[in-house]
Structure 1
């Protein structure tokens, strides 16, 4: 098998023992192997970086509508107002 035909490529990391312990614990909590957990975490982090750096493209009309929406006064969402008026669970008294 040639290198070009390989579908997977090994990756080697040097990590502190404490880092490995945290990764192993998290992987076990997710029911994953260390490799699966690290691959998923690394790919997710890489995708976030790529998506954060992609430009947003829109037409001039779309951009004007976007700016108008940002400039418009905010409107209260009744469900959010009610949720924020309720005491947090740690603020409630037990009866």
Structure 2
């Protein structure tokens, strides 16, 4: 796991966005209400949304019949191949 010092020393990149004036103003107003800069607001919002999207792909509910099928599939995993091994070595986005 990375320490805070590791994160601070990582060089930052840039993302350039084309945005309509009304949307930009809305973002600026919301950021100002929270006492944040536009950049802080957009990064925090995008980060939060990215985590939510990724978690939505990992957390799900099943009815009792489908749950039994799911557990059965877990009990019969496919043999590990190179893609599965690579996936299991990845650090989840919410931990980086």
**TM-score under structure 2 length normalisation:** 0.51
Partner SS, residue 10 of structure 1: coil
Q: How far apart, in 2, do the equivalents of 1:49 and 1:6 lie?
A: 25
1:52 to 51, 56, 68: 56
Bigger-Rg structure (1/2): 1
Name segments (4+ residues, structure 1) moved above 4 Å: none
Q: How far apart, in 2, do the equivalents of 1:27 and 1:47 lie?
A: 20
Deviation at 1:54, TM superposition (A): 1.4
Gaps of 5+ in 1: 57-62, 65-95
1:16 to 12, 20, 26: 20
1:7 to 11, 28, 39: 11
**TM-score under structure 1 length normalisation:** 0.51
Q: How far apart, in 2, do the equivalents of 1:51 and 1:12 lie?
A: 26
Aligned length: 54
Gaps of 5+ in 2: 1-8, 61-66, 69-96
